[in-house]
Each structure stands twice: as structure tokens, then as C-alpha cells.
Structure 1
Amino acid sequence: MFELAPVSLWLEDYSALRQLFDRWRTEGVTDLRAHLAADPARLSECSASLRILRVNRRTLELFAAPSQDALVANLDKVFRDDMHDAVVHELQALWSGQLEFSNQSANYALDGRRLDVHIRARILPGHENSWDRVLVSLEDITGQVRAGQQLRRSEQHARDLFEHSPVSLWVEDFSAVKTLLDGARAQGIDDFKTFITVHPEFVNRCMSEIRVIDVNQQTLRMFGARSKDELLNNIGRVFRGEMHESFAEQLLDLWEGKTFQQREVVNYALSGDPIHIHMQFSIPADHLADWSLVLLSLVDITARKKAEAYLEYLGKHDVLTQLRNRAFYVEELNRITRKGPWPLTVIAIDLNGLKAVNDDRGHAAGDALLRRVGEVLGKAVDSPACAARIGGDEFCVLLPGTDERGAHALQERILSMLELNNQFYPGQPISLAMGVASCASGDLVEATIHRADKAMYAEKERYYQDRGIDRRSAG
């Protein structure tokens, strides 16, 4: 049985080790680990005191030894390197009076292969006092150890990918949300969209039932949190405001079986700043039954949103005056022509004397005057009226749903603002020529604009005549 056993068996004599322990105890040693650590030679002395009596065939195969004599002669090649740390554990077990021990260690075959082994040793019955017969078994667990190491490396790799991803990643548990949705379905609710509209508290309850399992480092950076605990303890500050409507849409998609979703949402950093986010939501296939694991990735698109808003602003505004531009004016005029409201009143406006300022003081000075006109009209004109720069020194105010009486009141307000502006900029006063016209239907809009222009030019002509200025040279 010894010779044919499928595991490596060693019959050894530990009697010299027993005698060494007795001597050390006589010398007053009580802490074996400290005693061995104080002098590495003592560990070698312990190993040298062990005598191998016999090994079986499996041992020779495992260690690539042609014979027992060859194995014994090369024990320094078998027991080396990290094996010594395990030996201390085994010696401590014997020192403390145990008759057997179990341990995991590393040995080496004579051909250089590393062998991870599980060691079991037992002082045989009848030899408890002398330790002259100890049976040691070695089970080769190299495959299991390497598989475990590979698994740990894979897990660490996956963990590193999660933790250091440049995208905010969340792992969440939606199982309670699924229970609530299943309960609503069991109650016979068919029109879920109407249900959550009538019962918004159901959406709030679902939000409160989400359990965040983990987040990565990019998430902490994105939301300005110093730790995961700080973020998760303040989750109500992150998901608020319009997030209720976004989550309601997400619930509606889940109700309809959409377990992969993409949408743009707004969250908030712990500082209170809004963060525009592109969110991807996915329930892995092996968690579709209970939704206990949900993966979310969040990409900060705040910069993109700001760029889009700025481009949209540029598309509808005059950069110099900050008023609406000609493109928006034409679009708004067409909209009012089709839909009203009526009456529509138009105020045509022109800056007096711009050409002379450009010629005498340069275009920078002229631009400064145009900016001041933008300040005046921007403060005087409120929505739904629209003030726009439609040419070099030409402006227009559209007043939908306003008659000429209302337009004249706005004229007075513009003049009042103009006076204040001239007081603030005493060096170069600005003057505006204005003309007003009104109509009650879309087919009269073009003629109304023409009449407003005509009235404006007539006032402009009076301005130059009163000052004895040639309009063609003054602009």
C-alpha cells in the first residue's frame, strides 16, 4: 500500500529534531518562532536533523528522481527558496505538542520544476515519545494553485479595468425595482405611462430602492467626491431635479422590456454644479431574471453641451451687439406671418452718424457705438418682442400681439434707456432714428415693414437737416 499509493509518501525519522527541541527547552527557549528568526542557522539545523527512511514510487516520479538515493542526495535542490517559510509553521506545530500538521508549500523537482504541494504529516502511533516514525504525504496541487493564480490575475485585471476606466462606471442592484414593477403588473396595470404620471410617488419609490454596489475612481472625480462613502451617503444631491423625469422614462423602457438603454441626463456634482451626461444602462444576460446586477456607464458631455449651446447662440445672435441676428429675424418674421399673433407692430431703427464716426475715428469706435445700441435695446425690449440687428447700422423690433400704441410706449422706453446710456458714455452720444408701422394680417407684413422703414428714414432725414449735415457723408 505504501509503495503503490497514488500520492507521494515519505517515512521519516524526526527523533533528532525531538532531541534538539528538548535541548532548546532546557536552555530556556519558549518562543520557537522568535528563536529561529534570531539565527537563520537554527532553521538549517532543524532541517538537517530530519532523516528520510523511505519514499514510495510516486515520490520518485513526482520529483523526477531515478532512485531514493538520488533524491536524498539532492534534497538541497528539492527544499529551497520559499519552502523555508512553510517549514517554520510545521516546526511550530510540533513544538506546541501537536502530533500532526497540514500545510501548503513549494518544493522543486530535480529537473527544476516548481511543485506546489499540500503536506500532511503524522507521528505514527506508538512513536509519540520518540518521533522516530513520521509519515508525510505530499499531494501535487500545482495545477490548482496556478489556476487560482490565473483566476486572481484575471479578477485583478478586471478590477483594474473597472477602477481606472476613463468613464464613470456604476454597478447597481435593481432587484427591488423589478419586484415593484412585477407587483404593478400583477395588479393589472396595463398603461404604465399613465400610471406613473398619475402616481409620481411610485417613481420616487423605485429610485429609493436602487442599491449602488460599487463605483470607480472616475466617478469620484466626476462628482467631486473624496471617497465612495462620501458619494453614496450624498446620492440624493447627485440624482435630483430633472432626473425624476429621466428615471421615469427609464422605468417605462424597463416596463417594455428594454434592458439596454441610452439617454442624455443631468446629474449634479457634490459642489452643486450640473453635469450633462450620456448614460448607457445594461442588465447582463445572466441577471435578467432578477436584475440584481446592473451596469451603467456615464460620460461627461457638459463641455459638448456648452459648445452646442454656444453654437446655437451664435446661429441666432449678433456677436457684436448680443441682439438677435438677421437669420433669426427672418425666421421669426416668417413664423409670425404664418401664425400671428395679431396685430404685428414693427419698429425700424437706424443709428445716426455711424459712417462719420467710422471715417473719423475708425471702425473700432463705430463698433463701440453699435455695442451701446445693443445694450439699450437689450434692456428696453422684453419677450415676446424681438430686437435684432439686421444690417450694419440697421435694427428692427418685432412686436407680435402689440398695436401702435404699445409700440410708441416701447419707443419712449428705448429713448429713456438711450438717455441713460449717453450719460454713462459722455464722450460720444448716440442717436437713433425710429419708424413705426402696424398690420393685422400676414399678407400685409411686407408692406408694414416698408412703411416702418419709410418712417424711419424720414426721421433720419429730419435729424440731419436740423444739424445741417449732409446725410450721404454722415451715414
Structure 2
Amino acid sequence: MLDILPRGPAPANDDSEMFELAPVSLWLEDFSGVRSLFDAWRADGVTDLRAHFAANPDCVAQCAHSIRVIKVNQKTLTQFEAADFDALTSNLASVFRDDMLKTHLEELCQLWAGQSQFTSQTVNYTLGGRRLDVLLKGAVLPGHEARWDRVLVSVEDITELEGARHRVTLAEQYVRGLFEYSPVSLWVEDFSAVKRLLDEARAAGINDFRVFTDVHPEFVERCMQEIHVLDVNQHTLDMFAAKDKKTLLSRLTDVFRDDMRPHFREQLVDLWDGKLFQQREVLNYSLDGNEVHVHLQFSVLPGHEKTWDLVLVALTDITARKKAEAYLEFLGKHDVLTKLRNRSFYVDELNRLERKGPWPVTIIMADLNGLKRVNDQLGHAAGDALLRRAGEVLAKATETPFHAARIGGDEFAILMPDTDERGGAAMVDAIRQLVELNNQFYPGSLLSFSMGAATCQRGDRLEAGVQRADLLMYEEKRATYASQPAGDPAGR
């Protein structure tokens, strides 16, 4: 690519000894041929060299071939694995190849623009074929500005540096890939402002942070507002139904609300106590309003313990698990068919009320009339339908703190804390009215309860109240059956 000027005695002003012993590869070259080409093109009206090269790509190679190498130093021979000057210059096509002309074009454009110096980063090759990443710097020597017949070029081997940069780039891509495609929601956050607020509170003499936040809940709110989210990954956008990061970050108040505040307060208490790694289960919300139960893992990253300016928060979606747990808990305390509380809950609640009240406690025992007859004559599907209707009525009639429970096949109990006899009688009347409405809505078997109510005062045994209510219920049941025609599965 480069033509060679026959080697001869170096001029005295070339500082030959310094040139030869320089620890960087040096090339003394003659660019006068390039200068002549530039002058000719300008005379032909060329003003934009880059456009000229685009229209005439062979002109770049023409410039390269017009450059003549005058001499190189020992470092150059070593760097390019050449035995001597002739071995190097006779194989320049092996040294300068592939995309070298692209970077050479940039050097030429710098000279065209009137600069007496140029730089570029390119790739050369040793005579043994080893790739060299090099930083090339050239300068027209003083006194030669008119003809460019003496240009000093340094070629610094930056292969190791470029290799390190490449490894860093790969490492960054690897880490970014782990972050972006992690199967859990990842948030990179800056808690430095939160730390400053905690430090200021400590400096103001606050010792019991929990009491302080009880008295000043607005401090917790302020800390929440001072968190700066730096980045989130794709799984976060998917989990919270956000179309992009900008949308999510602009609506964080929709994500962290309601039950999140007490959880965040506990997080602040842990930070106050020096716990920079935390785990807890919290409730967030997706942008479409759905609850998202998450397992939160909070970590101040190593090296940032003094500032908290880099925090990683990992959120694992445990919504499905929470729903399963809630359903299992529901099954443990509810009757599947009627959706009322079950006998296990009834026994526990009866014991709790006996210990703690509040008194008086009224107990209503109810028995579903005609269930056996419906099962025997119309089938168990009809009996189950009647039980479901019973559950609907009793659920409608009772609200917290009252509870209705199915405690046997056709037996139900209603526990009414802090309720006297009049309240119990009112509940019985309400149930009868709801039964009447239910029978108007559903065809077929009539829904009917036999009921008895008993009220217990402080010091009474609730089990005795249950027995009294049972006796009253059975009296009503006997009267009900005595008034019904035999063999009527509808309970008429």
C-alpha cells in the first residue's frame, strides 16, 4: 500500500538516536505525494473531500500509495515482528489491510481541513499475522508544512487495552442481560436522600425511631417520596402491567399505596437499626389495579453502605401462593357447600367468646327443615341446592362481628357477641324475612328453618346457652313437622 523511499543516511536534524531509541513505534514518512493530489483536486474544484472519496473510492487508495516510508525505529521492527526495515516495507500489504482504508480516509480528511496533525484508531497486523489494535498519531514536522515531505507517525500498540475494554463491554452486557431478563422483578434505586433524612433525625436526638414514626407518620411519607428509581427490568414491566419504564415510573403512587406504607415503615425501622439486607412480604398493585403480593428482598450494594446511593430491590411475585394460602385458610374455616363458617371455626369462636366476650352473647341454633326428605325423594343434588340457599340467607343476615356456621348436616349456629335478647329476636325475624324472599325467587322445595335463641351473660357457660337454644329450636321443629302433610318433599 505504501511506497518505499530508498533508505539512506538520516539528516542530522532528524535526531536519529532519539528516534531509534523511542519506546513507541515511530515511522518517518513522506506525504508530499498526498499534498500534490490534494492541490490537484482543489484545482479541479473539489471542496468536500469526504464527498469526493464517496464518489471516487479509488482515490483513497491512490493517496495511500503515494505515501513513502523513509525510516522506522527498532520498536517498530519488534512490534511488527520484522527482521529488518526491508522485511517490513516489502510486506506492508500484510500490515495495512482489511478496513485500514476507512481509518486512513479520516486521517486524510483531517489534513484536508488544514490540520497539521491527525489521529485515528485502527487495526494493523504483524508479519506473523497477529492482530494489533493501534492508536495512530501523525504530525507534519516543523519546516515541512508547505510540502508535507516529513511526517512523523507514532503507532501505539493498544491491543491489551482494547482487549480489556472488550472484556469490560462483554461483562457489562452479561450483567445487563442478567438484570434485564431475570425472572424476578428488579429495581435499582437510590436511597441516599432517605439516609440523609434518617441521619438528620438521629442528629436531632431521636432515639426511638418507632415511636418517632408513630408520632410523625408524615416522616414515613416523606421518605417514600425521596426514593429515586434508577432502573427496572423487563419482568418488572410485565409484572406491573406497564407498557414501558416511563409509564411505570410516572405512576409509582399507583403501585405503592394503601398497605404498602406500614411495610415501608418497618423497612425504615430496620434501616435505622443498621439492617442493610432485608426480606419481607408486601402488597403492591399493578397499573391495571390488581393486587400483586410480592416477596421483597432489599440490599444495599457492596461499596455503597455509607451512602445507600445504590440499592437493589428484588420482587418475587407470590400472588398465586397467597391466593392458594387464602383458599386453604378458607377451606379450614368454611363449609365448601354453603360458604358459611364450618364447625371448626364455630368451636374456636365459641371458646374465644367465652374467654373474652364482649357480653352479652346471643346464640341462635337453626335447623334446616325437610332436608332428609328432599334428599330421599328428590336426590342429593336437590338437597345440596337447598343447603346452598340456606347459606345465602344466613350469610346475608349476618355481618361482622356476627358469624353463621354450618355445624352439622342440616344444623346451623349464629354467634352474636355484644347482643341481648332483643337483638337475637331481631335476627330471627330478619332470617325469616329473607327466607320468605328466597322462596319467592327459587322454585321447587321451600326453604324453612326451625330456630331457637338463647342469651348468655358474663359468667355464664356458652355451652349451656347452646343447649337452651337447641331445646327451643327442637320445640319449634316438632311443631313445624306436626303441621306439614306427610310425604311432601317440598316441605309444604
TM range (shorter): over 0.9
Please tell me the residue identity of whatever aligns with 2:66: S
CA distance in 1, matches of 2:409, 2:488: 16
Instruction: Report the CA distance between 1:25 and its aligned residue.
Output: 2.3
- Corresponding residue of 2:464: 447
Q: Where do residues 238-249 of structure 1 align in structure 2 (5 Å cutoff)?
A: 238-249=255-266
CA distance in 1, matches of 2:73, 2:188: 53
CA distance in 2, matches of 1:401, 1:236: 40
Task: Select between 445-454 and 198-207 the one with higher mean Cα deviation.
Answer: 445-454
Are positions 1:32 and 2:45 aligned together?
A: no
Q: Where do residues 397-416 of structure 1 align in structure 2 (5 Å cutoff)?
A: 397-416=414-433
Instruction: Report the CA distance between 1:428 and its aligned residue.
Output: 2.1
Equivalent of residue 357 in structure 1, options 365, 369, 374: 374
The structure-2 alpha-carbon separation of the partners of 1:250 and 1:423, relative to structure 1 and needing over 3 Å to count, comes to same
Are positions 1:72 and 2:89 aligned together?
A: yes
Are positions 1:10 and 2:8 aligned together?
A: no
Instruction: Report the CA distance between 1:442 and its aligned residue.
Output: 6.2
- 1:265 aligns to what SS in structure 2? strand
CA distance in 2, matches of 1:464, 1:21: 119
Instruction: Report the CA distance between 1:417 and its aligned residue.
Output: 0.8
Are positions 1:202 and 2:219 aligned together?
A: yes
CA distance in 1, matches of 2:352, 2:208: 37
Q: Deviations over 1:91-122 (max 9, x none)?
A: 11222232221221110111111111111212
CA distance in 2, matches of 1:145, 1:470: 97
Contact 2:439–2:447 (Cα < 8 Å) also in 1: yes
Equivalent of residue 120 in structure 2, options 103, 107, 112: 103
- 1:190 aligns to what SS in structure 2? coil
Equivalent of residue 347 in structure 1, options 340, 360, 364: 364
CA distance in 1, matches of 2:36, 2:409: 110
CA distance in 2, matches of 1:227, 1:412: 57
CA distance in 1, matches of 2:25, 2:270: 61
CA distance in 2, matches of 1:32, 1:190: 73
CA distance in 2, matches of 1:255, 1:282: 14
Please tell me the residue identity of whatever aligns with 1:417: L
CA distance in 1, matches of 2:70, 2:361: 114
Are positions 1:278 and 2:302 aligned together?
A: no
Contact 2:367–2:450 (Cα < 8 Å) also in 1: yes
Contact 1:340–1:442 (Cα < 8 Å) also in 2: no
Instruction: Report the CA distance between 1:443 and its aligned residue.
Output: 6.0
Contact 1:261–1:282 (Cα < 8 Å) also in 2: yes
- 2:20 aligns to what SS in structure 1? coil
- Corresponding residue of 1:257: 274
CA distance in 2, matches of 1:445, 1:201: 46
CA distance in 2, matches of 1:53, 1:394: 111
TM-score normalised according to structure 2 size: 0.90
Query: 4+ residue runs of structure 1 moved beyond 6 angstroms?
Result: none
Are positions 1:375 and 2:375 aligned together?
A: no
Q: Deviations over 1:50-85 (max 9, x none)?
A: 122222221111111122222122111111112221
> Gaps spanning 5+ residues in structure 2: where?
1-17
Contact 1:12–1:51 (Cα < 8 Å) also in 2: yes
Equivalent of residue 229 in structure 2, options 212, 221, 226: 212
Please tell me the residue identity of whatever aligns with 1:323: L
Q: CA RMSD in A?
A: 2.2
Q: Tell me the matched-pair count.
A: 473
Task: Select between 59-68 and 20-29 the one with higher mean Cα deviation.
Answer: 20-29
Instruction: Report the CA distance between 1:265 and its aligned residue.
Output: 2.0
Contact 2:61–2:101 (Cα < 8 Å) also in 1: no
TM-score normalised according to structure 1 size: 0.93
Q: Deviations over 1:181-210 (max 9, x none)?
A: 222222222222212211222222222222
The structure-2 alpha-carbon separation of the partners of 1:202 and 1:385, relative to structure 1 and needing over 3 Å to count, comes to closer
The structure-2 alpha-carbon separation of the partners of 1:48 and 1:346, relative to structure 1 and needing over 3 Å to count, comes to same
Task: Select between 311-320 and 238-247 the one with higher mean Cα deviation.
Answer: 238-247
CA distance in 2, matches of 1:447, 1:209: 60
- 1:286 aligns to what SS in structure 2? coil
- Corresponding residue of 1:138: 155
Are positions 1:322 and 2:339 aligned together?
A: yes
Task: Select between 131-140 and 219-228 the one with higher mean Cα deviation.
Answer: 219-228
- Corresponding residue of 2:13: none
> Gaps spanning 5+ residues in structure 1: where?
none
Instruction: Report the CA distance between 1:157 and its aligned residue.
Output: 1.8
Instruction: Report the CA distance between 1:331 and its aligned residue.
Output: 1.1
- Corresponding residue of 1:460: 477
- Corresponding residue of 1:387: 404
Instruction: Report the CA distance between 1:228 and its aligned residue.
Output: 2.4
- Corresponding residue of 1:89: 106
Task: Select between 57-66 and 355-364 the one with higher mean Cα deviation.
Answer: 355-364
Task: Select between 462-471 and 258-267 the one with higher mean Cα deviation.
Answer: 462-471
Same amino acid, percent of matched pairs: 60
Instruction: Report the CA distance between 1:303 and its aligned residue.
Output: 2.4
CA distance in 2, matches of 1:407, 1:361: 34
